[in-house]
């Protein structure tokens, strides 16, 4: 039986949240999207789900790095140290092109590091725009989930 | 101790020794002269003594000859002796003023000789008047001559002369020894003083030269380090003229160190600032762009043509903003990042850029472009900015043409990029390299005013130069140098 994809989006930028929502709507896929605007909020959400039962934990976490209160790297460090959460699949989705950020997150354990496009050139391919980017990668992420 | 004092001391010691040497040598030479005089005087005395003795003997011979032969010729020789001998006595006596024993001997000889003269004169007179008074002569002859009175006197004279000569010979020998000794001593002292002077002179020179050389070497080392960017200080516990130089050098080093650190910090902050600003500027525009797209998507055909027109302006302006931000990012990155050095075939590089940037009706020609090892990205940025400028500022009614040449100038390649575009008025030639300076009106979308600023900064970073030759309407030629290595 195919279960619904449960996605947790941790991003403080409302536009990114909307973009993900719109992209998911366009993809012909069953999903459930939770959103948190920073690391603390996301942790609380996960903790609540752990208390209710492991089945409700997200299949995929899309994690922004630059966030207030608790940033992506701190969040990743906390869940990797938590027995109940350390297996979670995390994709980093950030505007940071800093090599140090990529290294740190890869050492903590991630399934992918996606740099959000910052180009708005009308002439370039669709996948270079934010919506195109999100759709392209979400399709891949969700497909990899099905293949398991 | 001050260096001047040390040098002065060294020289003083050397000069002091030389002076002492001269003084001692002077004294010794006086002694040598004195001894030489003594020896010479002694020799004169001996010579005089033998002359005197000879004259006395000759006089005695003449006396005997006259008595025996009665030949008056002997008397000439006798009287000659009587004239000469007193003079010789006086001369000899004057040479013996300092020698009492020798003078006493001479005085005895003088006395004996006078005794003999009285005796001989009597006999000669008697012999001359022998015909008148023969008994006197016979008496004298029998009582004096026969009894060898004269001979005894003469024997005593000879004896004293021998003693005199022996004593004088001994004196002469001892004086000659003294002379040799003093000459020897003068020679020894001279050698010792010369050796001492040379030794101390060389020693103090070596000491001072080494001292100065070591100190200067330390400072040269410091200056070298400063030129390499290491701002160390030299330790100097001496207190002399060079100390003030090292103190100045140290303070220079410290000031430079402080200023350069400060400058590096400022530069880093500035680059960081530019990077963060341009990076953060992108996020809101990205939002605006997304929202515009969503509006277009969601409204679809409900949008009026006028509204669509407005909506189309937004991406254009966003594109311009993006170009500006990219330009700023690139500009900030030039000093922030040090790109990889790799082998670059400039011909290929230019062709690749041309393929991306220039339209089909544009013609591009290259002559003698080299292959070199350099920071590829930077050279690429220079060429792509200059070529895209040539395209942007081409004449609309003439087919575009770009000619790129290269020639070697010492350690550099000199590239020139000539176009047949609209050209630049001479008063703007230096202005175009300043950031945000564009000669086009603000709404022209291609022109951000950063491209040439980037080119200029890259070329400045390579310690090279760029310039432009152009006249309005007659195209432009950008000429820049680039290091061969």
DSSP string, chain A: -PPPEEEEEE-S-HHHHHHHHHHHHHS---EEEEEESSHHHHHHHHHHHHHH-GGGS-SEEEE-SS-SSS-HHHHHHHHHT-TTTTT-EEEEEES---HHHHHHHHHH--SEEEEPP----TTS-GGGSHHHHHHHHHHHHHHHHHH-
Does the distance separating the beta carbons of B322 and A119 come in below 8 Å? Answer: yes
Is residue B416 classed as helix, strand or coil in its secondary structure?
strand
Torsion angle (degrees, nearest 10) of CA B300, B302, B308, B314? -60
Q: What pLDDT sits at residue A144?
A: 66
The overall average pLDDT reported for chain A is: 76
Partner B contacted by A13 (CB < 8 A) = yes
CA distance B282 to chain A (A): 7
CB–CB of B279 and A95 under 8 A? Answer: yes
Closest CA to A84 of A117, A110, A49: A49
Predicted confidence at residue B404, as pLDDT, reads: 92
pLDDT in 10s for each residue of chain B, 485 residues: 777 888 888 889 889 888 988 898 898 888 888 888 888 988 899 999 999 999 999 988 898 888 888 888 888 888 988 888 999 999 998 988 888 888 999 999 999 999 899 988 888 888 888 788 888 878 877 777 777 888 888 899 999 999 999 998 998 898 889 889 888 988 898 899 889 889 988 998 898 889 888 888 888 888 888 888 777 777 777 777 778 888 888 888 888 888 888 988 888 888 778 777 777 787 788 788 888 888 888 887 888 888 888 888 888 888 778 878 878 777 877 777 777 888 999 999 999 888 888 888 888 888 989 999 998 888 998 999 999 888 888 888 888 899 999 999 888 999 999 999 888 888 888 888 887 766 655 445 456 678 888 899 899 888 899 999 988 888 899 999 999 88
Among B282, B290, B319, the residue with its CB nearest the CB of A15 is B290
In the prediction, which pLDDT does A147 show?
A: 43
Which pLDDT value is given to residue B345? 92
CA B361 to chain centre: 69
DSSP string, A11-31: -S-HHHHHHHHHHHHHS---E
Query: Which whole-number Å values give the CA distances from A56 to A76, A91, B188, B244, in the listed order?
Result: 19, 19, 116, 79
User: Please, are residues B464 and B410 in contact by the beta-carbon 8 Å criterion?
Assistant: no
DSSP SS3 for B409: strand
pLDDT for B444 equals 52
The ipTM value here is: 0.72
Most A CBs within 10 Å: which of B284, B291, B293, B328, as the mutation test of the A interface?
B293
Q: Which residues contact B367 (CB under 8 A, 6 or more apart)?
A: B403, B404, B405, B406
Token reading at B113: 């000789």
pLDDT of residue B150: 82
> Would you say residue A122 has pLDDT above 70?
no
Kindly state the DSSP code that residue B340 receives in the 8-state scheme: P
Contacts of A13 in chain B (CB under 8 A): 283, 287
pLDDT score, position A126 = 45
A71/A62 Cα distance (integer angstroms): 13
Residue B97 Cα to chain centre, angstroms: 65
Residue count of chain A, please give it: 148
Structural domain harbouring A83: 5-147
Q: How far apart are CA B313 and CA B209, in angstroms?
A: 81
Q: Which of A98, A118, A131 has the most B C-beta neighbours within 10 Å, making it the best mutation to test the interface with B?
A: A118
Band of the pLDDT at A123, cuts 50, 70, 90?
very low
**Cβ contact A15–B291 (<8 Å):** yes
Q: Does A128 touch chain B (CB under 8 A)?
A: no
Cβ atoms of residues B232 and B205 within 8 Å: no
Domain count, chain A: 1
Domains in chain B, CATH or no CATH each: 3-203 (1.20.120), 258-337 (1.10.287), 339-483 (3.30.565.10)
Nearest CA in chain A to B321: A120
Report long-range pairs for B192-196 (Cβ below 8 Å, ≥24 apart): B193/B17, B193/B18, B193/B20, B193/B21, B193/B24, B193/B25, B194/B21, B196/B17
Report the pLDDT value the prediction gives residue A124, as an integer from 0 to 100.
Answer: 43
Question: Is some CB atom of chain B closer than 8 A to the CB atom of A22?
Answer: yes
pLDDT at A118: 58
Q: Which two tokens stand for residue B255?
A: 């000031």
To the nearest whole Å, the CA of A141 is away from the closest chain B CA by 22
In the prediction, which pLDDT does B439 show?
60
Residue A19: closest C-alpha in chain B:
B290
Candidates B286, B315, B322; nearest CB to A130? B286
**Angle (CA) A50 A55 A61, round 5°:** 75
Q: Which residues of B touch A121 (CB under 8 A)?
A: 319, 322
Q: Could you tell me what percent of chain A has a pLDDT over 90? A: 0
**Would you mind telling me the total number of residues written for chain B in this entry?**
485
- What pLDDT is recorded for position A110? 83
| Cβ proximity of B381 and B391 under 8 Å | no
- CB-nearest partner of B290 from A19, A119, A121: A19
The pLDDT score that the predictor gives to residue B243 is 80
- By Cβ distance, the residue of B282, B290, B319 closest to A121 is B319
Chain A residues touching B279 at Cβ < 8 A: 95
Q: Does residue A75 register a pLDDT over 60?
A: yes
Phi/psi of residue B338, each to 5°? Answer: -105, 105
B341-360 burial by CB neighbour count: b if 16+ within 10 A, else e? eeebebbebbeebbeebbee
Report the alpha-carbon distance of residue B279 to residue B270 in Å, rounded.
Answer: 14
Average pLDDT over residues A14-32: 80
d(CA B452, CA B476): 14
List phi, psi (to 5°) of B357: -100, -45
Domain with residue A116: its CATH number is: 3.40.50.2300
């Amino acid at each position: 039986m195919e279960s619904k994809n449960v996605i947790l989006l941790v991003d403080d930028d409302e536009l990114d949240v909307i973009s993900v929502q719109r992209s998911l709507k366009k993809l012909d896929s069953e999903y459930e999207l939770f959103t948190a605007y920073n690391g603390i909020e996301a942790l609380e959400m996960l903790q609540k789900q752990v208390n209710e039962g492991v089945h409700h934990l997200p299949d995929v976490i899309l994690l922004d790095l630059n966030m207030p209160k608790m940033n992506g790297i701190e969040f990743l460090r906390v869940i990797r140290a938590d027995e109940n959460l350390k297996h979670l699949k995390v994709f980093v989705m950030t505007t940071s092109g800093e090599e140090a950020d990529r290294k740190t997150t890869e050492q903590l354990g991630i399934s992918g590091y996606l740099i959000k496009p910052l180009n708005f050139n009308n002439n370039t391919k669709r996948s270079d725009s934010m919506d195109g980017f999100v759709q392209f990668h979400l399709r891949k992420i969700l497909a990899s989930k099905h293949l398991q | 101790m001050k260096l001047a004092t040390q040098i002065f001391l060294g020289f003083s010691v050397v000069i002091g020794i030389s002076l002492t040497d001269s003084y001692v040598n002077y004294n010794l030479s006086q002694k040598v002269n004195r001894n030489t005089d003594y020896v010479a005087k002694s020799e004169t005395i001996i010579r005089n003594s033998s002359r005197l003795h000879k004259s006395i003997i000759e006089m005695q011979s003449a006396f005997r000859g006259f008595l025996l032969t009665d030949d008056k010729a002997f008397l000439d020789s006798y009287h000659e002796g009587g004239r000469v001998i007193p003079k010789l006595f006086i001369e000899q006596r004057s040479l013996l003023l300092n020698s009492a024993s020798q003078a006493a001997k001479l005085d005895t000889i003088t006395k004996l000789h006078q005794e003999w003269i009285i005796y001989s004169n009597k006999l000669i007179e008697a012999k001359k008047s022998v015909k008148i008074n023969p008994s006197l002569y016979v008496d004298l002859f029998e009582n004096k001559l026969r009894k060898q009175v004269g001979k005894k006197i003469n024997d005593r004279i000879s004896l004293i002369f021998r003693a005199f000569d022996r004593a004088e010979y001994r004196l002469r020998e001892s004086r000659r020894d003294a002379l040799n000794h003093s000459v020897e001593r003068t020679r020894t002292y001279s050698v010792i003083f010369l050796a001492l002077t040379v030794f101390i002179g060389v020693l103090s020179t070596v000491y001072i030269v080494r001292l100065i050389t070591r100190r200067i070497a330390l400072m040269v080392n410091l200056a070298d380090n400063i030129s390499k960017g290491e701002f160390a200080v030299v330790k100097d516990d001496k207190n002399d003229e060079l100390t003030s130089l090292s103190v100045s050098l140290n303070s220079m080093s410290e000031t430079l160190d402080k200023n350069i650190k400060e400058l590096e910090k400022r530069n880093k902050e500035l680059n960081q600032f530019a990077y963060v600003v341009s990076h953060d500027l992108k996020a809101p525009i990205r939002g605006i762009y997304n929202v515009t797209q969503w509006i277009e998507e969601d409204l679809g055909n409900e949008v009026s043509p006028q509204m669509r027109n407005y909506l189309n302006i937004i991406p254009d302006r966003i594109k311009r903003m993006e170009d500006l931000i990219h330009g700023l990012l690139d500009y900030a990155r030039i000093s922030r990042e040090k790109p990889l050095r790799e082998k670059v075939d400039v011909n290929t590089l230019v062709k690749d850029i041309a393929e991306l940037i220039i339209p089909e009706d544009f013609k591009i020609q290259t002559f003698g472009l080299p292959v070199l090892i350099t920071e590829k990205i930077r050279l690429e940025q220079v060429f792509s900015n200059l070529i895209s400028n040539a395209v942007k500022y081409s004449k609309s009614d003439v087919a575009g043409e770009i000619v790129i040449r290269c020639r070697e100038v010492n350690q550099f390649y000199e590239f020139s990029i000539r176009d047949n575009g609209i050209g630049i008025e001479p008063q703007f030639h230096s202005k175009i390299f300043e950031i945000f300076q564009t000669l086009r009106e603000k709404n022209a979308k291609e022109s951000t005013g950063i491209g040439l600023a980037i080119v200029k900064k890259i070329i400045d970073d390579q310690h090279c130069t760029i310039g432009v030759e152009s006249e309005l309407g007659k195209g432009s030629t950008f000429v820049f140098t680039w290091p061969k290595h």
